Structure 1
């Protein structure tokens, strides 16, 4: 009898354990997954309020890849978090004014790391516009003035592009993908493959990774401590208060102009990187806004 009782107890334990294991596995797809090195793979994600279908195996793996990479790119991810404290307050209200979802500020992060980068192909600025595209979107681009380096104007140009892309493709996710792959390139693949969802399309590697990179940076930058990035508020890069001076004539020497404003040439160029030479030629009386930091730094 004792043996029978022991067997019965063992069977009950196995049965109960099986129930728990089944319940855990049944709900696994809805729970975040912590992997062997400690970072968390969320199983419920969205870009611009459009759901990311994490139940699809290749989608889950692609998300895992980008999150894993960016969690371990310590220096560049930390710098992005620090720079965002300065750049996002400029970008966010422009996105909002244009009806662009706030998530698109992370597109700027993956494009440039929130610095005025220069690509090998010739794209420049935080939003990485090619010169022809920048001109088409209303920016001035020449040897003297390059408004791709003006964060306010380039953010507005990005909004103009994204609104056109959203109208064409119908989703913000495809609009984001087209920022990398081009409207023509994405539209061609939609026609060939006969699907209209980003997550169903087979695209070039860079465009296929693009939205996942945005999602990875979004997750990390919204919850940096969750992913091991503990950055004190005093270590974030700050925005200095500035005043804007309207200039509608040429400036023959920017160093002299800077000195007249109580700053030096370096500080003038840091706050106005769109000024590309040592002078400002303005023969057509265009109105330019030059930012002067109030603190002098």
Structure 2
């Protein structure tokens, strides 16, 4: 009996010593060697002193953007005194001011197409501010496609595109032609203006549809986009346009200092009028000194390797950029 008690005591002591040992090892493993903590702190202070007055510190600052009292769209004043309106604009301006990769690309791409879009809008008596719809619909990507199969700069559905005079088939999709798609969008915008009588409602209807906006205004017995309760996407839509306008008009104000040379440019073109079927667009491209890739880059509305011409004619753009005309030398040797 005494022997058993002795064995139990010995085992208890061994277990206790083992627990103490394991705890001590854990403390030793995690604790830094003597002097490391002090040295690390000294190094941090030294680095801070060294970096003072230099531009070596990474700029990870988030922009806080003051909300203005009022904005304008297409010459119409938008007062932001109401808390709901201020917060809706505040959300979109901060999203875009701090979503750096997306906004940088928006600014760079806009430089390629904004002037031409403005020309088409002006020719069709549509306010210039509508070019900012392209920024939020497609981010100036000619080949943009939504989950609803809306396509191109203006994100037109196939039925809407055909309704406003665009050709969409297996060989041609003019929704991807920035100029022709803008012409079609102008027709829609004028139809919407005839219905609503103000450009803000016209812009909102571009997202929810004319009948959709009209029905919600009637149901809630109001006559303004800013007074009607809408789904989240449409509720944000107008304020996304206003945020894009603010940044694209003055990108430096929001920290986007992108030199003109860093923005994407549009080359000069030769325009080839096509009145006969082209059996092979690869050969057609090579004949004009460019690759098929370059041909499709500036004519994204071409969907197939051939182009059938019946009673219509097409205009194909041929880049005159020497860097894209590199096949000319091969063809002339």
Whether the TM-score (by the shorter chain) exceeds 0.5 is yes
Give the whole-Å Cα distance in 1 for the aligned partners of 2:320 and 2:164. 31
The answer to whether the aligner puts 1:276 opposite 2:292 as a matched pair is no
Alignment partners' CA distance in 2, 1:223 and 1:42: 14
Does the CA contact (< 8 Å) of 2:168 and 2:174 recur in 1?
yes
SS at match of 1:41: coil
Match 1:108 to one of 128, 134, 137: 134
Do structure 1's residue 241 and structure 2's residue 268 form an aligned pair? Answer: yes
- Preserved contact between residue 125 and residue 148 of structure 1 (Cα < 8 Å): yes
Superposed, which structure 2 residues align to 1:1-297 within 5 Å?
37-116=63-142, 117-282=144-309, 284-296=310-322, 297=324
Alpha-carbon distance in structure 2 between the residues aligned to 1:222 and 1:42: 15
Counterparts of 1:44 and 1:226 in 2: how far apart (Å)? 17
CA distance in 1, matches of 2:185, 2:90: 28
- Equivalent residue number for residue 5 of structure 2: none
1:239 and 1:183 map into 2 onto residues whose CA distance is 34
Does the aligned pair in 2 maintain the 1:118–1:125 contact within 8 Å? Answer: yes
How many residue pairs get matched?
A: 261
Q: CA deviation at 1:37?
A: 4.2
Residue 38 (structure 1) shift: 3.2
RMSD: 1.1
CA drift of 1:262 comes to 0.7
Structure 2 regions of 5+ residues with no counterpart? Answer: 1-61, 325-333
User: d(CA) in 2 for partners of 1:110 and 1:295?
Assistant: 29
1:44 shift after superposition: 2.1
Hey, what does 2:6 align to over in structure 1? none
CA distance in 2, matches of 1:220, 1:40: 13
Alpha-carbon separation, structure 2, partners of 1:72 and 1:157? 33
- Deviations along 1:124-180, one digit per CA (max 9) or x if unpaired, are 001100000000000000111000001110000010000110110011000000000
On the 8 A contact 1:84/1:114 being kept in 2, the answer is yes
Task: Write the distance in 2 (CA, Å) between the matches of 1:78 and 1:265.
Answer: 29
Provide TM-score, normalisation by structure 1.
0.86
Question: How big is each residue's C-alpha offset from its partner over 1:28-56, in whole Å with a ceiling of 9 and x where there is no partner?
Answer: xxxxxxxx943232222011111112011
Distance (Å, rounded) in 1 between the aligned partners of 2:118 and 2:295: 24
State TM-score, norm by structure 2.
0.77
Question: The residue matched to 1:46 in structure 2 has which SS?
Answer: strand
2:164–2:184 contact (8 Å) kept in structure 1: yes
**Distance in 2 (alpha carbons) for counterparts of 1:185 and 1:38:** 35
Give the 3-state SS of the residue equivalent to 2:248 in structure 1: helix
Shift of the 152–251 alpha-carbon distance from structure 1 to 2, 3 Å rule, reads same
Higher alpha-carbon Rg: 2
After the TM superposition, list the runs of 4 or more consecutive aligned residues in structure 1 that deviate by more than 4 angstroms: none
Give the C-alpha shift of residue 287 in structure 1: 0.6
Q: 8 Å contact 2:269–2:318 — kept in the other structure?
A: yes
